[in-house]
Structure 1
């Protein structure tokens, strides 16, 4: 019997979790697995928020070669150019096309700063490691000026079209704590303006209450339902006609699909249209877990749980067994404030809406410890070619929650 050819496009959470889950679910004699990525490492993106405050970047990178070789997964370092779903072929910038029986598109989302006039030119963005290192340098200048008696105003902006605003909230709260520890917080005004109707809107009312309380306690001016229309060098304009002057503006840019696939169903930002099991509408042999798909909430834990469900669906098609794991959407994350962590658990509907009165938000120093334990655990698992999630349960973070609540 010929092995089924499974091709996974991408090198992030959804791609690696799908690949490593498949190696655990399917007899290797029945599976020929190929991972196509334009980079040779995995980046643990939740850890990027610490870079402006001196955290090391190196532990966030996981080389892919040894992890994939461990399970005889074929590696293709290449850029995807197009997918021919009729002939089941992936074309890359390399010479040879790649044939598949099952395709997993996990190419993620990409920042599009030009979606807001002036954002690319005048804002400090928080998307890539390089941008976050440069933001740390800008923060140092703010603290230097404040320490010399020059009042500063730092504006944080979350525009429409942002797929996951969590990093903006984390960095704003971490910045507040960082300034206090340098005894210059009184010289720095911090404003947080978001297009969301509530703070952390995607994850429910509980998170809004916690963030609103944090802002009030810390003296951060928070504004909701305030979309930005233009960012200039010293001021930012909003759609209600207001204008805020600032010394530094920090922005999380809008996002769209990292790759647009002609001929595949997608929304107006290129995110692929999926059924609840993350298979593409009209294509039973193509799946899109994580940020490449159209699930409205895009966050690393959701990407991992979607990937596990996709791996189970592909494994069922290969083995002929029933699917034993479905996608049960739950957003689970910890926001770091330096002095503590804020745990958010939000069960979602199939449409990505928070189930009313089912969201849970807890805070305390122990949750920050859990976040950093997770930051070690996931890269370690991927470095050894193992999935982040076990076959049952939600892994380390859920276990930590159960332990700390006892």
Structure 2
């Protein structure tokens, strides 16, 4: 090529940043990289679950400009109006146009609480740093009321259409530990209700009995197959005719694509339809959708990183075949540590391309230990450091050592699980 090929990524999140950082590592200065971002900071969402309980916030907001500058990535501030595939051009809402040779659409998913009547008005939604700060203030008021002798009820809710309920599970268990440490656990009723047939069913049947036992041992009332139909002030109604009252309602919401890309193939929720292994958008030659913007139904940060690696390798191999001996393909393995503040549950589940667990039984492991709590805290500090430095999460000697340690720990501190 007479000029350097240009890769433009839209979205300053896990998938977009990982893709660009990996491409720089793979191709060096043989490629021009650009990032379109609609904000100055990237929030590291996995770490926000600690914020309601006094967790530090300093490392959770990562400036976009400084790591991009370190890697020679041009940052364009703005939002997408539409995408053209012939000619290859991206149009921003302010009228600017950006040409590309390869385009990475990593704009993620967004919650749509309006799909459940009353949810937006009466629930504390789980997600952003701002939402977690507000939840923390509410939980402190709940604890203070319990200290003053007023019984309280906190209800945790997972509605239909949600693609990743993990943080709601974590917050339920973390609140139980926090209240117990505050010596007011006996004055607060905790209830968990989810539409799922089994607890954390996205990661297979193996977690259901483990989480169910933890709910029971910690005195958390739990209900699966509870489909919310409406939220009223201090009351949630379900499809089976039952209702639960609450003083505090903590919920996630149905998901849909954060950006609607007119003209590109997508499902009914706006998620871009992709090739399973490369995450290339169907019926396009050079457009990719790693992470939550794509159609893989489980929206989990670890899976976003795996998809970004596959996208980066596919693009690098097309630009310079010698740069990647064996391009990585997206092999969906769900890896999740469910935090409880005093211990944690580790789960590793190979998934089929549908998002359903691979029922072959190979490679699925579950473990419970205080060590996983420490491990999650350590990884939560390590990953933002990688992004701040402009390095991909997956790559380099330090990450190889971390991955090796994680594999060893998973074998020592978890057990194989058979699908029932």
Shift of 1:365: 1.1
Shift in Å, 1:129:
1.2
Displacement of 1:334 after TM fit? 1.0
Deviates more, 1:323-332 or 1:269-278: 323-332
Give distance in 2, aligned partners of 1:71 and 1:184: 50
**Structure 1, unaligned stretches of length 5 or more?**
none
Change in Cα spacing, 1:169 to 1:394, as seen in structure 2 (3 Å) is farther
> Match for residue 396 of structure 1?
402
Q: 1:323 to 1:94 in 2, by over 3 A?
A: farther
Partner of 1:354: 357
Contact 2:337 / 2:344 at 8 angstroms: preserved in 1? yes
Q: Which range moves more in the overlay, 233-242 or 141-150?
A: 141-150
CA RMSD between the two structures = 1.6
Q: Match of 2:181?
A: 181
Shift, 1:338, TM fit: 0.3
Residues 331 and 112 (structure 1), Cα distance of their counterparts in 2 relative to 1, 3 Å cut: same
Deviations 1:198-252, CA, capped at 9 Å, x for gaps: 1000001111121101101001111111111111111100011111111111111
CA–CA separation in structure 2 for the residues paired with 1:228 and 1:194: 8
Match of 1:382 in 2: 387
Structure-2 separation of matches of 1:405 and 1:272: 36
Give the TM-score of the pair, scaled to structure 1: 0.96
**8 Å contact 1:159–1:194 — kept in the other structure?**
yes
Superposed counterparts of 1:78-89, under 5 Å = 78-89=78-89
Work out whether residues 23 and 316 of structure 2, in 8 Å CA contact, stay in contact via their aligned partners in 1: yes
User: Are residues 1:199 and 2:199 paired?
Assistant: yes
Q: Which residue of 2 aligns with 1:309?
A: 310
**1:370 counterpart residue number:** 375
Taking the aligned partners of 1:345 and 1:169, their CA distance within structure 2 comes to: 17
What do residues 141-168 of structure 1 show as CA deviations (whole Å, max 9, x unaligned)?
2112212222111111100111210000
Whether the 8 Å CA contact 1:389–1:395 is kept in 2: the answer is: no
Q: 1:319 to 1:284 in 2, by over 3 A?
A: same
Counterpart among 322, 342, 345 of residue 342 in structure 1: 345
TM-score normalized by the length of structure 2: 0.93
Partners of 2:43 and 2:129 within 8 A in 1 = no
Cα drift, residue 404 of structure 1: 6.2
Is the contact between residue 14 and residue 290 of structure 1 (CA under 8 Å) also seen in structure 2?
yes
Measured in 2, the distance between the counterparts of 1:398 and 1:159 equals 37
Q: SS in structure 2 opposite 1:14?
A: helix
Q: What pairs with 1:6-25 in structure 2 (closer than 5 Å)?
A: 6-25=7-26
Deviation at 1:361, TM superposition (A): 1.1
Shift of 1:124: 1.1
Distance 1:371 1:293 in 2: 26
The gaps in structure 2 that reach 5 residues or longer are: 413-420
Q: Deviations over 1:63-84 (max 9, x none)?
A: 1212111121111111111111
1:198-347 matched pairs, under 5 angstroms: 198-276=198-276, 277-321=278-322, 323-347=326-350
Deviation track 1:335-355 (CA, whole Å, cap 9, x = no partner) reads 110001211111111222211
Q: Is the CA contact (8 Å cut-off) linking 1:313 and 1:323 kept in structure 2?
A: no
Measure how far apart 1:58 and its partner are.
Answer: 2.0
Once residues 124 and 265 of structure 1 are traced to their aligned partners in structure 2, the CA distance between those partners, rounded to angstroms, is 33
2:265–2:273 Cα contact (<8 Å) kept: yes
How many corresponding residue pairs? 405
Alignment correspondent of 2:418: none
Shift of the 319–371 alpha-carbon distance from structure 1 to 2, 3 Å rule, reads same
1:31-110 superposed matches below 5 A: 31-110=31-110
* Higher deviation after alignment, 211-220 or 137-146: 137-146
> Deviation per CA, 1:59-116, whole angstroms, max 9, x where unpaired?
1111121211112111111111111122211111344300001111000001111111
